[in-house]
Structure 1
C-alpha cells in the first residue's frame, strides 16, 4: 500500500524526482565478473529556488511545482565543533592587520569576563610576538656577556664599550635598510640582529687589539706617547683594512642571491638578509673611521 500525498502525489514518484534533482538517482549497473557497480545520475548544482520550480507529475496527469507544497528556511549551524579538555569552545579568527588590535583584545577579554567566559589569544601572530621577545632577550644577554669577555681580553673597562659602540650604529643601519625595502620586523629579522651582533664586533676587536700592541711596542722604543698613539692608529688602519673589508664583503655578497631568488623560503629570509647587509655596511664604515678617532680621543687624556 502506497502512502498518499496531497495534490494526488505518491511517495515513489516524489522520491524519484528528488533523486534526479539532487544527483542520487540510479541509472544502470556496470556488470563485471567480480560483481556490479551502480551508476548514478548526477545533476548540476543549482539554486534551491530554481529546484523548487521543477514540475512533478501527479496521478491525475497534471503537473505542479515543488514549491506548492515544499517550503524551506535558511539557518546557520557550525560546520564543526572544537573542544579540548575543558570542553567545547568557539574559535574566532581575526586578521592580524586590523587597526587598534590591542583595544580589540581588551574589549574581547572584558566581554568574556563579564559573561563568565575565558578568552585566550593564539595563532601565528601571537607566537611571532613571543618568539621576537625571546630573541630580544637573547640579544641583550649576548651583549652583556660580550662586554665581560672583552673586558677580560683587553684588561680594560672602557675599551669594550668602545668596541660595543659599533652595535647601535650597525643596528641603526640595519633598520634603515629594512625600512627602505619595506621589510617586516619579524622573527627572521631578530635572528639577523643576532647574526650582526656576532659579526660586527669582530672588526673593531681586531683593530683595538692591533692598536694596543703597536702602541705598547712604539712606547717601548722611546717614542713619545702622543706620537706612538698616532703612529699605532695609522699603522693599525693599514693592517686591518683588508681583513675588515673582506669580512664584510664576503658575508654581504654571499647573501645577495637570496634577494633575487623567487619562492616562499627566500621571501621569509629577506628581512634577515636586509638586517645583515645593512648592519655590516654601516658597521664597516664606522669601524674604519669611528673606532680610531674614539680610541685616540679616549687614550690621549690618560
Structure 2
C-alpha cells in the first residue's frame, strides 16, 4: 500500500542528491555573489531567543535531561491509551448493505423482499441511487444463492448529512425486515477484506470443530457475547441450517426380500428427482445435453416420491415407500471447511473504538462465558488478522531500520559515541507523534507506524547536520561548550528549514477530505507532531548531551 510513497520518496531523494552535488554549486556561483550573509529579522529574532534557551539548558544540563526524560516517559504512558487498528476506516462515498435471507426462500419471495429493501433505502436522505442483484454465479471463488444480495448504494456528498448518519438510518430500516441478516460495509473495503482474509467483516471469529450442532451452539454463545461488547455492529453468524433436505432411508432387509439392489433404488431416485442425461441434441456446432425426470407433481412431496415404482427381481412392482422411509429434514444450508476442518464464522464490525481493544475484550469474555468442549478452537480473523500480521512485520522492520541507521551513522562519523548520540534522538522525536495521536483521537495503525519511521529519518537528518557542525568546530580547536554553542548557531537555520518544509508538505494530508484521506491523515499527524518535538529536542537536548558523547568527554 505504501510502496508508491516509498518509491516516490526514494527517487526524489536520489534526484535531489544529484542536483545538490552537480547543479546547486553552479547556480550558487552565479547567484550568490556579494551577499551580506546576514540573517533576516525573523531568523535573528528566533536565534536570540533560541540562544537564551540553549544557554540555560546547557548550564542546567541535568535538569534539562530530567525534563526531557520526563516528557518521554509521559508520552510512553499514553501508548496503552491510543488503541490499535489495522487501517483507518475510509469513507468511499458508497455503501454495500449485505442482505442474507433464509436459504430456503423462493426466488420470487427473495425478489419481493429485495425490492422492498431497495425502496426503503432509496427513501433515505443522502442516498443518490441504489442498484442490486441477487446471488452470484456458481464460481468456485465467490458463489452465492438467490437468498443473498449486496446492493451498491451511492451517496450524495451535497446532502448535508454525514456518512455515519446515513449508515445508521439504513441499518435501522433494514433491521426491521424479519428473517434477514444485515452487514453494512463499503464496496472497496468489503472486497479487500474478502480477498485478503476470506471474510467480509472487520472481526471474524472462526470456530473449528467436528459436530455441526455443537458448532451452532458455540457460535450462538459467541454472538451473545458480541452483542454485549461496546462498539459491536452488524453481528452475523454463518448460516448452518435453514435448508430443507430430502432424506431417503433404504431398508436393506426389505429390498433384499424383493431382490432389489441399493444401487437400483438410488438410480431410480436420481432419475426421478434430479434428472438423468439420456442423449445429446445437436444444433449446428452447438450441443445440448437432454435430461429426463419426473413431472413436478410426482416429485413435489415425500408422499408423491414414495409412489415411485420399483421393479423387483420377479417382475413385480413395489412402491419406493414400501422399501424406504422418505421425509423432509431441516438440513445444513452449507458446510464450510478451512484447512480440512469444519468451521463456522461469527462476524462483526467495530464502530467507535479501536480494533485491538475490542478483540481483546471479546477474547476475555469468550474465555469466561462460552463453554468450549475439547476439540474445538477459535481463530480470530478479518482486519484483526491483518493488524496482527502488520504489527509482527513492523516488530522486525523497526529494529532493522534503527540498526541500519546506526550503521550508516557509524560509517559517517567513524564513532560509536556520535552515532549513539544521534540514535538517542529517535525516542525523543516520537514524543510529539504519540501526543498528536492522543490529542486527535487517532489509533496506532499501519499509516501511523509508517509515519514514525519517516519521522525518524527527518530527526536523524537534523541530528547529523548539527553534530557534524559541532564536531568540525571541535577539530578546529574549540572547547566543547564553545563548539556546541557556535555549531547550534550555525545550523539553526538549516535545521529549522528542514523541519518547516517537511511540516508544510504534510499539511495538505492533514486537512484533505477526499476518498482515501483517512489513510493519509494518521501519517501526517505523527510526522507533524513529531517534527515539532524533535526539532526542539534536537536543538536543545542533543547539544546538552553532546558533552557526554564527545570523543574527548568532560566531567559533568
Shorter chain as normaliser: what TM range?
0.5 to 0.7
Match of 1:100 in 2: 361
Q: For the pair shown, which has the larger CA radius of gyration, 1 or 2?
A: 1
5+ long unaligned stretches in structure 1: 1-19, 25-45, 48-74, 220-226
Please identify runs of 4+ aligned residues in structure 1 that moved more than 4 A: 20-24, 75-81, 105-108
Match of 1:91 in 2: 345
Name the structure where strand makes up a greater proportion of residues.
2
* Gap change, CA 1:91 and 1:276, over 3 Å in 2: same
For residue 517 of structure 2, the aligned residue among 246, 254, 266 is 266
Matched, 1:116 2:116: no
Task: Give the deviation of 1:264 after TM superposition.
Answer: 4.1
Match of 1:257 in 2: 508
5+ long unaligned stretches in structure 2: 1-107, 113-176, 179-328, 350-354
* Gap change, CA 1:250 and 1:84, over 3 Å in 2: same
Contact 2:462 2:538 in 1 (8 A): yes
Q: How many residues align?
A: 226
**Which has the higher mean CA deviation after the structures are superposed, 126-135 or 198-207?**
126-135
Alignment of 1:36-185 (within 5 A): 81-84=335-338, 86=340, 88-95=342-349, 96=355, 97=358, 100-104=361-365, 106=367, 111-112=371-372, 114-185=373-444
Separation of aligned partners in 2, 1:164 and 1:22 = 64
Q: Deviations over 1:145-201 (max 9, x none)?
A: 222332232222221221111111111211011101111101111111111122211
Give me the TM-score of the superposition, normalised by structure 2.
Answer: 0.37
Contact 2:421 2:549 in 1 (8 A): no
Task: Give the deviation of 1:261 after TM superposition.
Answer: 1.5
Bigger RCO (CA 8 Å, 6+ sep): 2
Task: Give the deviation of 1:298 after TM superposition.
Answer: 4.0
Task: Give the deviation of 1:23 after TM superposition.
Answer: 9.6
Separation of aligned partners in 1, 2:110 and 2:514 = 43
Separation of aligned partners in 2, 1:155 and 1:249 = 30
* Gap change, CA 1:99 and 1:216, over 3 Å in 2: closer
Contact 1:131 1:187 in 2 (8 A): yes
Q: Does the residue aligned with 1:202 lie in a helix, a strand or coil?
A: helix
Q: Does the residue aligned with 1:116 lie in a helix, a strand or coil?
A: coil
Contact 1:188 1:271 in 2 (8 A): yes
Q: Does the residue aligned with 2:443 lie in a helix, a strand or coil?
A: coil
